[in-house]
Structures are given as C-alpha cells and as structure tokens.
Structure 1
Amino acid sequence: MTAPARTRSSAELIRAEEPVLAHNYHPLPVVVARAEGAWVEDVEGRRYLDMLAGYSALNFGHRNPVLIEAAHRQLDRLTLTSRAFHNDQLAEFAESLAALTGQDMVLPMNTGAEAVESAVKVARKWAYEVKGVPADRATIVVASGNFHGRTTTIVSFSTDETARSGFGPFTPGFRIVPYNDLAALEAAVDETTAAVLIEPIQGEAGVVIPDEGYLAGVRALTSRAGCLFIADEIQSGLGRTGRTLAVDHEGVVPDVVLLGKALGGGIVPVSAVVARRDVLGVLQPGEHGSTFGGNPLAAAVGSAVVGLLETGEFQRWAAELGAVLRDGLAALVGKGVVGFRARGLWAGVDVDPAIGTGREISERLMQEGILVKDTHGSTIRLAPPLTITDAELRSALETLEKVLAA
C-alpha cells in the first residue's frame, strides 16, 4: 500500500514559495487551507476569524452555500464559450445587474483593473463621438490617494510612488486633484474632460470617507460640465457599506459604475462596467473584448450574487453591525487608537505609531486568531464578511483592544 503523501507545514510552504514566486506581495505568515463563513483554517488546523474578506471579494463569506450551489450547477453544464458565441447565462446576469444598479447596460470583464481600463476606453470614445472632444485630446480627472488597480495606465494616475516607481513611461490624459475637494475638481474640468473617476470611499488609502455632500457635488458638477461621473465601487459596492452601492448614501446615480471583487462571490473573478445606454452604446464589435469576460460560470455566480443582494438582507445587516463596529472603535480611541473611519462593515483604524506599525499590529492580531491587513503607516483595515455574527464581531473588537493594551 502506498503511504499517504505528507502534507507540508505552513513554514515549509512559505519557504517553498520564496524561490519560485515573484515577490510582488508580502503576505502575513499564515497558510490558509480551508474556510467557511467568516472563518479560515491553516495547514495545521489553527482557526482564524477573517476580518479582511479578500479586500471585499468575500462579502458573502467563504464558500457561501447559495453561491457554491450555483457554481456547482454550472460546472456540470458549461464553463466557457468565449464571446464568439452566446451562452444561456449571460442575459440573466446582465439584466439583473443593470436592474440592481439602476443602469441600462453591462460590459462584463474579469478583474477590477480590467473594469477600470474598460471604463477609461469607453469614456474616451464617448468624449469623441458624443461630446465632440477633438481626437486624442480627452482628459480624465482623478483624485490623489486613489487606488484603481496596478496596470500601466492605472498607475499612470496613481500618487503612490511604490505603485509607480520603475514602471514609466506613463500614459497621458489624466489630471489629478485632491480627494474631497470640489473646488479643485471644478478647476480641473474643462471642455476636454471626458469623465471624473473617483472612489466613493478610498479603500487602499485607509477607508477615507469624503464629506457629506461631496458625491452629490461631483454629480452636479459633472452634469453641468457635460462629462461622465464614473464611480469605482469595486471595493465599496455590493453591500459593504450598508447600502447596495456607496453612492446610495447620498442618493447619487453616476453615469458609470465599476464593480468587481464581491461580484464573483469569492469563487471566480467577475467584474463589470454598468452604465447608461448612450455611454456603453459607443462600443462596436471588435473595439473591446475579453475571452473570459461574461463566461457562463462567471455569469451564473454573478447572477446568484445579485440574487443575494436583491433581498436587501446583507445591506441591512452590514448597516446594523456597522453601528457595533463604530461604537467598538470609538471606545478604543485614546486606548491605542488615534482615529478611525467607518461606514457599514468597513473601517480604517489608525493605531498609535508608538504601539507599532500596521504590519506589526496585523501580525499580533494573527497570533490571537484575527486576520486583518495593514495599509499605510500604522493603519489597519477591517472588512469582515457580511455574514459575520454580532458575537464574532464583538470578539474581534475585544481582541483588538487586548493587542493594543499589550
């Protein structure tokens, strides 16, 4: 009888990655092997409460049974056709997603960065064909501190030197203004402006929430200027903030909404550009595409995700537990926390630098069975699955208090 293969330990697996994987990430030293709901388990069987949820890709928890069932059902039928042919899942996905977001049309892609790149192309083409901007003169206004992805064009308008350094020459056509500054935004918009592209909440920057009225101001300004308002809801959308979209907190309807991460249910990469018909209608066959975009497996999972959100249950729970999160963090201010920003089940927590860097705090929390991720300086991000319970969230906050006190 053949002896069973020995499972490598976490330490062995981490060492094995070193010579064969590009070093473009610096993950926490935990090797996840299994997961369910808000919990993950490492190779040795240690359990951790996941308070990051794949940067919001796992809004509905690990292995959500409704989404797993949809994926299994589709796996037994059809996974890929390419867009050379129609498939029987794509129409329902597009119809339901357009209805959920209050838009007309859907351009299905795979990753969030692809959705942003697609929106840049669409906005430029719209500017030339609809607005009448002279050829190759279109500009797009973006905000400092943004994070829209890491492709060459996207890092061209990033203000994060780690993302930019060594990757030039950069793509022209972008104007950067301070985030949450309507006067600066208005000064940057002119007759060449195709669009204003912003995150309703800046996630990578530390969950930076703009002043009340900022998003409504962006909507009014872009309407007056005759340019598009593109809202990047890839992290903030699909229930994370207690509403379907973060822009819903101000009752704003952008011209274009970008979605990703949670749209794939943590199972497959799914992203989409959703927009008005006159915007996405500028695309003609051969001008843009994706072999995997809109594939039947992705469409089936995406439809199931939309189905979960249509009930409003996840949005209500995120809002309800969001109050618990805010209250818990407010109680820690002055006890190791110097400030925080939170909306729904999403928070950026600024830890006193004297206690440790964001990375060090994340490592200490990992030792206590809580997984979070640092961002700039001594800031950590909290974004648990929307399936987390009240007791689990309170336990995580108690553990954070314990780590800060230690």
Structure 2
Amino acid sequence: MTTTPTAPAPTVNGVPQERKVVTAIPGPRSVELAARKSDAVAAAVGTTMPVYATQAAGGVVVDVDGNHLVDLGSGIAVTTVGVSDPRVVAAVQAQAAAFTHTCFMVTPYEGYVAVAERLNALAPGDFAKRSALFNSGAEAVENAVKVARSYTGKDAVVVFDHAYHGRTNLTMAMTAKNMPYKHGFGPFAGEVYRAPLSYPYRDGLSGDEAATRAISMIESQVGAANLACVVIEPIQGEGGFIEPAAGFLPALQAWCRANGVVFVADEVQTGFARTGHYFASEAEGLEPDLLVTAKGIAGGMPLSALTGRAEIMDAAHAGGLGGTYGGNPVACAAALAVMDAIEADGLVARAREIGDLLGGRLRDLAARDARVGQVRGRGAMIAVELVEAGTTNPDAALAKAVAAAAHAEGVVVLTCGTYGNVLRFLPPLAISDALLTDAVDVLERAFAGA
C-alpha cells in the first residue's frame, strides 16, 4: 500500500485529498467491471486508466476498489473547478428539482440567457456579442463554421497542423491526427485546408516567420476570396500542447481582419481559467471574431458555447442554430456555478500558481534528464515532450511507459501529441500543493524507472 506522505488529509465532499493505493491497479472489482465492459460496450470505446470510478472530489478520484488517485487530467480539462465542486452540485440539484428539460427552442428559460450574458461579458473584445449554446466542443466548432460561412458567403475553412477539433464528420476533417480519430471513417467534409502551425521546438521559427509561412500557403492554395474562416487553438490540445511562438496568433488575426476572414479561436481545452487567463486568447491580446468553448464550462455537465461579434452571430437565419439538448437547463445552472467559483476562489491566479509549481518541477527534471525535450504550456495546462536523448526524435514508448508507471502508483496522467510522445498535465485548479507535489514525486520515480 502507498499513501500520500502527509498528516491526515483535508477532505472535499467527504473524500480525503490524498493518494492511497490499497490494491494492485487495476484492483479485482475494476477487473470484473472491465470484463463486463468488454461484453457490453463497443470495442472502439477505449479508456486511459484500467480502473472504474465510484466517487470523486477536489483533486482525487476514488475507484471501486478503494484506491484514491491523484487527478492530473480533470476528465480532459473538464473538472477545472474541482470534481463535484459543492456549488456546482447544489446548482445542479436545485435545477433538476425544478425541471430538467423543456428545449430552449420550445419554451425558453432564464438560465440559457444568463449563461449567454456571462459569456458575452467575459469573452475578449470590446464590442457587442451574442452567444449560442450546444452540447459538445465538436458541435460548437461545427456551428462556428456554419456561422462564418453564413456571414461571409464563402466556403473554405483553414485549420492547422497538429490540430484537434472533434470527432464529427466536419471536425474530423479539421483534425490532423489520423489514429485514432479519423482512420477508416471517411470520406470527410470538403473545403477544409491545412496550414503549417508555429511549433517552436521543431521549426525554430519566430512568430512572424511562422505566420508569413502560413499566410503564404493560405493565399496561394486557398485564397482569401474563398475563405470563410481560420480556426485555431491558441494552445493546441490533443496535438501536444503546442504553444505558438509569440506574434504568430496576432499576425494571423490581423491578416484575417484585413482580408474579410472570420478568425475563430477554439478554446475548448484552454478556456475557463485553465491557462492563467480566463481565455488563452487574452495572453497575446487576441479578440477572436468567434470563440468556441466547452469542457471546463460546466464542471462536468455537457455544455458548449459559441460566442462572437453580434453582426457575425446574427448572420444566420432564424432557426438555423440550435438543437434539442443545446443549453440544457441543468448544464446552464452548472455553468453559472462554475463561473461563480472561478471568480470567488481566484482560480485564474491559482492556475498561475499551479503552473509555477508544476512547471518548475518539470523544468528541474528536464535539466537532469535529456529525454525531456521541452516543457511547455501556461498555467495549469503543462506538457513535456519526450524524445530520444540527444535528439529530437519522438519517444512515444517512453511516454507510454512513464504514464503506465504513474498509473500503477495512483496518479492519473494523460498522453497526447501527433507522435504520441507528450505527457500532458491538466490538474483541477482546486488541487492542493501537497497533492500536486506528491504526484510529481511519483512522476520523477516513473522517469527514473523507465
């Protein structure tokens, strides 16, 4: 048995905020449930951890065998304010008791309007805005494209190398990585073009140089006269937490404005205080024409949003945007509670503190271990790119081995990247320094043993 080496741990919703491994991972009950999954769930639905959750709160997930796991994934950047934040739980309970659904397009309700108002006020840019609510990040991205096409009367969409935008047909076309997201699922939607991203670790270009390269490709292979929108993640998610060189994003935005192209920031993974700003776009003064959000928006309830300039958002015809469940009242109640929690708990600043602690420890590791090619990211969105020592050759096997070793000691770690060689860290902003420090100690042991 291994435990967090501290005095009695504080609790959140009755869950001690400590790492505690009482069985092998997976334990016998999780093994039993995995067998049931194999019989009942489509084989294409994979899982990262071999355990089954029964409770979670703060920065800890408890499995069915009683193991307490430190959560460095936040359900892929979803439970940003902490798993089962008491304010979110209370808001969900109250709304569910009132009504769970009417469909906003049939009999609307205040919660949807209130979420839109909050998003319009929070999104970067001093101009009139409108919002529309949906269910998933991919759905919101698709609607961004729909709105941009309606507003401009043009068809083409530009995305970037290493991008991830979703698993629907259009967003698979917009996503770069083949396996596991696209392989065997074509043909995909047309009029989607891919431009080179700024990837400082691998291309060595300044932001201006990388922007010139990308814009040259867009102008020569697509043409501004045909281009409805450019869609980009300010920091890429699944692509490997790639942070473009300074100046790259502002140059793209300036080119879009000069050429009548809608600039779309996909902040599904970077939004809601994750990067030490409310939205990652703020770091370089971006004012996206359209802003796509999801994941951290509602503390685990399914919700996404598209927020943007009023004249662009209002371009589509009445009834052109919507969906049966979009802006579900329970999810809207959760989102309002999440935004309250971010403000009340100072979570934008807390993300920076986490970034200093976690990033500092990882940079110390990189100084000792030549297999850590780069530590990058902002706030509580940090990654390490792993390579063969002395080279920049991606080492996916090392990433897999370190993640597996961390899992065995009760730390939830995710991998990502086009080459599968990136470890990404997305701890909930409610995590304690003690819990985070213990998790990094586990990671260091995993590297030593890999």
Shorter-chain TM-score category?
A: over 0.9
Task: Determine if the alignment matches structure 1 residue 173 to structure 2 residue 208.
Answer: no
Q: CA deviation at 1:311?
A: 4.7
2:122 aligned residue? 100
Q: Contact (CA 8 Å) 1:353, 1:378: kept in 2 or not?
A: no
1:360 aligned residue? 401
1:154 aligned residue? 171
1:19 aligned residue? 39
2:312, 2:163 → 1: CA distance?
A: 23
Q: CA deviation at 1:100?
A: 1.3
SS at match of 1:241: coil
What does 1:2-401 correspond to in 2, within 5 Å? 9-24=29-44, 25-82=46-103, 83-102=105-124, 104-128=129-153, 133=154, 138-162=155-179, 163-180=181-198, 181-187=210-216, 188-189=218-219, 190-266=224-300, 268-311=301-344, 313-333=346-366, 334-335=368-369, 336-352=371-387, 356-375=397-416, 376-401=419-444
TM-score with structure 2 setting the length: 0.83
Paired amino acid for 1:183: T
Q: Contact (CA 8 Å) 2:59, 2:82: kept in 1 or not?
A: yes
1:258, 1:277 → 2: CA distance?
A: 15
1:4 aligned residue? none
Q: CA deviation at 1:359?
A: 2.5
| Cα root mean square deviation, aligned | 1.8
Paired amino acid for 2:405: R
For residues 194-241 of structure 1, give each alpha carbon's deviation from its aligned partner in whole angstroms, at most 9, with x where no partner exists.
Answer: 111000001111111010111211221111111111000000111110
Q: Contact (CA 8 Å) 1:241, 1:346: kept in 2 or not?
A: yes
Q: How many residues align?
A: 391
Q: CA deviation at 1:360?
A: 2.3
Q: CA deviation at 1:19?
A: 2.4
Paired amino acid for 2:380: L
Paired amino acid for 2:36: A
Q: CA deviation at 1:350?
A: 2.4
For residues 255-311 of structure 1, give each alpha carbon's deviation from its aligned partner in whole angstroms, at most 9, with x where no partner exists.
Answer: 000000111211x10100000110110122232321111221121111122222345
Unaligned runs of 5+ in 1: 1-6
Q: CA deviation at 1:313?
A: 0.7
Q: CA deviation at 1:353?
A: 5.2
Q: CA deviation at 1:394?
A: 1.6
For residues 372-399 of structure 1, give each alpha carbon's deviation from its aligned partner in whole angstroms, at most 9, with x where no partner exists.
Answer: 1122433211110011112222221111
Q: CA deviation at 1:119?
A: 0.7
Paired amino acid for 1:369: G
1:295, 1:159 → 2: CA distance?
A: 31
2:93, 2:388 → 1: CA distance?
A: 47
Identity %: 32
Q: Contact (CA 8 Å) 2:166, 2:175: kept in 1 or not?
A: no
1:239, 1:141 → 2: CA distance?
A: 27
TM-score with structure 1 setting the length: 0.92
1:3 aligned residue? none
Q: Contact (CA 8 Å) 2:137, 2:294: kept in 1 or not?
A: yes
Unaligned runs of 5+ in 2: 1-26, 199-209, 390-394
Q: CA deviation at 1:10?
A: 0.7
